[in-house]
């Protein structure tokens, strides 16, 4: 069994002394003052004089090593023993080879896949406790905030789509009502429109319409007189006398 040591640094690689000093002060206040956390880099040492961590690179693995507490990019802060591992040197080297394949440098993400996430994974495979919560609390909080923001944005897009769909349905409904109303008004103003669906009635109405204004023939007049005589026969003079009494 051998010890697994965690090395912790203040992240002071911004390239600006003012920004680096600000980060150091933030870490002092939030970690040393109230124990909440800060902005930290971490690395794990097990077997030998090297610490292992993870960072961004465009090509190849993001897993790298350097002498313990000697990473030139950050300001060293402290070390802590996480526990003892039962893994042999051979097992540790095998784990590191696996992690090197699984953690390409291009997959680095400040909030969701950073050096502290790598050390958590490494410690889990070594069979020792993970990093204390304060080491990566700011990144985890930022990642959770991003997830909430993404979920909220998705819900807003869904709500917007539902509003647009409802508006389209309402528009089609109102358009249909307007069209039906217009058709009803047109129907009440058009002669014979109530029976417009019947082709025979349509033909009869059109024929009658075309015959309006034509001068009737003499035979049509005689037939009309005969029809009227049959419908209204002449009354007997006696009937007229009875009625006049």
Catalytic residue positions, numbered: 41, 115
Which whole-number Å values give the CA distances from 156 to 40, 95, 161, in the listed order?
Answer: 35, 43, 9
Sheet with 51-54: strands ordered across: 63-66, 51-54, 40-45, 2-10, 75-85
117: nearest Cα among 105, 131, 107, 102: 131
Q: How far apart are CA 101 and CA 60, in angstroms?
A: 9
Q: How far apart are CA 130 and CA 121, in angstroms?
A: 8
Q: How far apart are CA 52 and CA 119, in angstroms?
A: 8
């Amino acid at each position: 069994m051998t010890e697994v040591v965690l090395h912790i640094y203040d992240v002071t690689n911004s390239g600006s002394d003012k920004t680096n000093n600000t980060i150091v002060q933030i870490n002092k206040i939030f970690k040393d003052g109230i124990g909440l956390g800060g902005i930290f880099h971490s690395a794990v040492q097990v077997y030998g004089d090297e610490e292992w961590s993870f960072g961004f690179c465009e090509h190849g693995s993001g897993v790298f090593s350097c002498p313990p507490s000697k990473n030139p990019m950050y300001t060293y802060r402290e070390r802590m023993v996480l526990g003892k591992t039962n893994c042999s040197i051979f097992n540790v080297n095998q784990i590191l080879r696996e992690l090197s394949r699984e953690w390409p440098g291009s997959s680095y993400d400040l909030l969701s896949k950073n050096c502290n996430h790598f050390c958590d994974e490494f410690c889990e495979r070594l069979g020792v406790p993970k990093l204390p919560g304060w080491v990566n609390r700011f990144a985890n909080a930022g990642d959770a905030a991003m997830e909430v923001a993404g979920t909220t944005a998705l819900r807003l897009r869904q709500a917007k789509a539902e509003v647009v769909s409802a508006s389209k349905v309402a528009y089609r409904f109102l358009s249909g009502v307007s069209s039906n109303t217009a058709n009803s008004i047109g129907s009440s103003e058009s002669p014979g429109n109530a029976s417009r669906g019947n082709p025979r009635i349509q033909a009869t109405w059109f024929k009658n319409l075309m015959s309006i204004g034509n001068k009737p023939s003499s035979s049509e007049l005689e037939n009309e007189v005969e029809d009227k005589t049959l419908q209204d026969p002449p009354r007997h003079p006696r009937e007229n006398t009875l009625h006049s009494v």
